[in-house]
Chain A
């Protein structure tokens, strides 16, 4: 099965500080995604990437930046963390081409902004 590894698994950050969440996949997948999970909102798409060195905005990109320096790595950056960004963040990857495009998720990063 696809392997997506997120780090750290949990983090406490201060309001106004910078936070970087990392994601590494070993599936040779072209596509990678960042979602956040909040109770009552399900999973919402923040940023995604189809190829290294290129990122796209998802449905809730405000306050977040993304970076894809290689096919395997995808980071989510909070330049100025705010209380409203407290959530669980999930990274996912999927194959390209004519595949079914099932998304494979990591175990998540629980972020608390104080």
Chain B
């Protein structure tokens, strides 16, 4: 069964600083990856997707994918208090369109 592991479990970042989140996946055939963000009391919302090896930048957020090392990461530049949330990485489930999610990283941005 496909598995997704995230690290760290939690992270404290000073306002204006850089947050780095990591995710490793178990299936070498995985091809499609997402990062989701969930604020307290809300449902998860997609931040960005990445399907090719390398970097993908959207505003202050940069995702990096390395399929050979089974690793995907998310970097948040110039962190803001509104970035305080639970972040999930997700990979498309083999043979379908559902996603398998990691256990999440809680990011707290301190003013």
Q: Which residues of A contact B (CB under 8 A)?
A: 4, 31, 33, 35, 40-45, 48, 50, 56, 58-59, 90, 92, 94, 96, 100-108
Contacts and interface: CB of A to CB of B under 8 A. Distances in A.
Contact of A41 (B93, B97, B103): B103
B93 A45 contact: yes
B88 A43 contact: yes
Q: Which 9 A-B pairs have the closest CB atoms?
A: A105-B43, A43-B101, A42-B103, A42-B101, A102-B46, A101-B97, A105-B44, A107-B43, A48-B98
B43 A108 contact: yes
A24 to B, nearest CB: 14
Interface in B78-111: 88, 90, 92-93, 96-104
B1 interface: yes
B102 to A, nearest CB: 6
Given A105-B43, A105-B45, A33 B98 contact: yes
B7 interface: no
Contacts of B102: 42
Interface residues of B, number: 25
Contacts of A31: 97-98
Contact of B98 (A4, A40, A45, A104): A45
Contacts of B32: 100-101
6 contacts: A42-B6, A42-B88, A42-B101, A42-B102, A59-B1, A104-B46
B8 to A, nearest CB: 14
A4 B42 CA distance: 12
Contacts of A56: 96
B25 interface: no
A43 B34 contact: no
B24 interface: no
Contacts of A107: 41-43
Given A40-B103, A101-B92, A94 B43 contact: no
Contact of A42 (B92, B93, B104): B104
B30 interface: no
B103 A103 contact: no
